[in-house]
Structure 1
Amino acid sequence: MGFLDIFKKSERDRAKEELVETPWHVLSSMKQLDDITAESKDKPVAIFKHSTRCGISRMVLKQFEKSYDLQDDQLTLYFLDLLENRDVSNEIAARFKVHHESPQMIVLKDGEVIHHDSHQGINAEHLKRFV
């Protein structure tokens, strides 16, 4: 890329290049719940339950991603598409005894829920307390 190429890019394209991607791990199977529970004994794990058809969920997700700045070695961040994986979402509610909401953030440590938020209560800064 030459020096003048920067002027060919839109402001939006330049902004995208500056963003650090959120280190999501996709949660899409029941078996992963056992693995996640075990993983939470080594470091905190957070599950973000998202409805792809909900404007509020999309807004909360974008705000969360904009302010998230932890590394994978501090906390593992899982993303659950509720519409594609309703069975997994239902199992999370039953297994961890947390009433289902969307969007929802659930934090596990030592195999137990230590924190959960929903809707506008979801905040990336909250996760820093658990690392």
Structure 2
Amino acid sequence: MAQKELHSIEELDQFVAGEGKRLLFKHSTICPISTSAYEEFQSFLQEQEVPAAVILVREDRPVSNEVADRFAIKHESPQIFLLDGGQVKWHTSHWKITKDAIVEALKA
């Protein structure tokens, strides 16, 4: 399943309000750690049917900041969130973002 990019707070609102589990990935296009984590995320998405969205933190800073404010979770990049019912059920960052970690989070 392909992910969508979120470029506005309105798009973020719509994504968060969706039903069921969904993944939100904050990505820095200039960071090698983020690139590695993004590849893990993409590998996961090639095998799983989960609604997913990406925020490019440099290009869409207001949206990235809104995530930190809304969920009261310090901004990091890369960073991934598992949302369900509009709430964060799991999140992690940097080298802890792996395909296996995402699979385990969805099972919990």
Q: What TM-score results when the alignment is normalised by the length of structure 2?
A: 0.87
Q: Number of aligned pairs?
A: 105
Q: CA 1:88 to 1:35, structure 2 compared with 1: closer, same or farther past 3 Å?
A: same
Which residue among 55, 63, 66 is the counterpart of 2:40?
Answer: 63
Deviations along 1:71-91, one digit per CA (max 9) or x if unpaired, are: 1xxx21101111110000000
Which residue among 27, 30, 41 is the counterpart of 1:53?
Answer: 30
Instruction: Give the structure 1 partner of residue 13 of structure 2.
Output: 34
2:44–2:102 Cα contact (<8 Å) kept: no
Structure 2 CA distance for aligned equivalents of residues 33 and 67 of structure 1: 21
Query: How many angstroms does 1:54 deviate by?
Result: 0.7
Instruction: Give the structure 2 partner of residue 24 of structure 1.
Output: 3
**Unpaired segments ≥5 residues, structure 1:** 1-21
Letter in 1 for 2:23: A
Instruction: Give the structure 2 partner of residue 123 of structure 1.
Output: 98
Structure 1 CA distance for aligned equivalents of residues 51 and 12 of structure 2: 13
Give the secondary-structure state (helix, strand or coil) at the position aligned to 2:59: coil
Structure 1 CA distance for aligned equivalents of residues 56 and 26 of structure 2: 6
Which residue among 17, 21, 25 is the counterpart of 1:44?
Answer: 21
Q: CA 1:126 to 1:59, structure 2 compared with 1: closer, same or farther past 3 Å?
A: closer
Give the secondary-structure state (helix, strand or coil) at the position aligned to 2:4: strand
Structure 2 CA distance for aligned equivalents of residues 79 and 67 of structure 1: 14
Structure 1 CA distance for aligned equivalents of residues 102 and 17 of structure 2: 19
Query: How many angstroms does 1:67 deviate by?
Result: 4.0
Rg comparison, structure with higher value: 1
2:61 is the counterpart of 1:83: no
